[in-house]
Structure 1
Amino acid sequence: MFRRTVVALGLAALAATSALLAGCSAADAAPQSTFVLLDGSKQTTQELRGKVMLVNFWATSCTTCVAEMPRIVSTYEKFKGKGYETVAVAMSYDPPSYVVNYTETRKLPFKVAIDNTGAVAKAWGDVQLTPTSFLVNKKGEIVKRYVGEPDFAELHQLIEKLLAEG
């Protein structure tokens, strides 16, 4: 009995380690997603290839999301003319009227999408914690995942590096 328990625990540890390492691959492709924007138009990850992109999952009820939003805006303003895009994806539980109000009163200059069904968050690794952001390179590969507010100095350096790549 003891031996079976030890073997089972060893196999569980090996499986957990393998899962962690699988999540650390250098070039995970960004999922094929369709973002439904506030104006009703749609934008796909495929259409955004060739740009460096920040996909930010957020909610109007999330205090950290609201606190980081001015820095997300300034990051977008700094890099938008160089091939950088931001898509802010409001979580499925966020009332659309709140998202529209927040976007309009704060004059968010980038694409804002509403994930009504939760399908986009699910496709991006079943995102449940906000804010969660993904930095995607020009090839459509996820380079960095941030849970919580990013270190913006580090983020800016990484964006500059990715924009410089061919």
Structure 2
Amino acid sequence: MKMQRRHWLAGGVALAAAGTGAWWADRRLSPTPVLDGAETAFWQTAFETPEGGSLAVASWRGSPLLVNFWATWCPPCVEELPLLNAFHEKQAPKGWQFLALAVDRVEPVRQFLQRLPLRFPVGMTGFAGTDLSRSLGNATGALPFTVVFGPDGRAVHRKIGQVHEAELTAWAGSV
């Protein structure tokens, strides 16, 4: 009888720990509200390209815009980029715009893009991109982080972590 009680107690403790862990992970990976003024500030930003050019975000206002924060040293980021390339091929003819923001250094990004060219613009944020992503609702600064802006310039979808095809399809149908 005493042994059975220990098994039940151990099972209860394990269940509570698993539940707490799941709650903590969900809480940590759920986007927080966009900070006041962050969307306006984002649309007024220009990013340097890996080649030294400039990308003015304002030029894409009026179209759905998918922004993906990524880095060459982030395995889930690298893993989702081919999916984003494919999504770009489907959605660009429908007016969608795409921007990959590299939270990284220029040289590793240049080398990476030689191996896996992206079919959409890449902007450099350096490690300051973490602050930008936080202002858009990524409280932990985790990568990858994806934001979809509607034609009105408002953030309508946000995802901390790797995106999946079903999410992209749902987003495309709702914007």
- Tell me the TM-score range normalised by the shorter chain: 0.7 to 0.9
Change (3 A) 1:143 1:36: same
Q: 1:115 aligns with which of 110, 119, 125?
A: 125
- Give the corresponding residue for 1:57: 69
Q: Which runs of 4+ in 1 moved over 6 A?
A: none
**How many positions carry a matched residue from both structures?**
137
TM-score (norm 2): 0.69
Tell me how far apart the structure 1 counterparts of residues 105 and 51 of structure 2 sit (CA, whole Å): 15
Change (3 A) 1:148 1:117: closer
Letter in 1 for 2:118: L
Q: 1:86 aligns with which of 94, 98, 102?
A: 98
Alignment partner of 1:54: what SS? Answer: strand
- Give the corresponding residue for 1:45: 57
Letter in 2 for 1:141: R
Larger radius of gyration: 2
Tell me how far apart the structure 1 counterparts of residues 167 and 142 of structure 2 sit (CA, whole Å): 21
Structure having the larger proportion of residues in helix: 2
What RMSD, in angstroms, separates the aligned Cα atoms of the two structures?
2.4
- Give the corresponding residue for 1:139: 152
Q: Which runs of 5+ in 2 are unaligned?
A: 1-29
Letter in 1 for 2:109: V
Tell me how far apart the structure 2 counterparts of residues 144 and 51 of structure 1 sit (CA, whole Å): 14
Q: Which runs of 5+ in 1 are unaligned?
A: 1-19
Tell me how far apart the structure 2 counterparts of residues 108 and 82 of structure 1 sit (CA, whole Å): 18
Tell me how far apart the structure 2 counterparts of residues 42 and 99 of structure 1 sit (CA, whole Å): 16
1:29 aligns with 2:42: no
Tell me how far apart the structure 2 counterparts of residues 121 and 34 of structure 1 sit (CA, whole Å): 16
Tell me how far apart the structure 1 counterparts of residues 54 and 117 of structure 2 sit (CA, whole Å): 20
Change (3 A) 1:24 1:108: closer
User: Percent identity at matched positions?
Assistant: 26
1:66 aligns with 2:78: yes
Tell me how far apart the structure 2 counterparts of residues 136 and 81 of structure 1 sit (CA, whole Å): 17
Shift of 1:158: 1.7
Structure having the larger proportion of residues in strand: 1
- Give the corresponding residue for 1:103: 113
Tell me how far apart the structure 2 counterparts of residues 134 and 83 of structure 1 sit (CA, whole Å): 17
Alignment partner of 1:29: what SS? Answer: helix
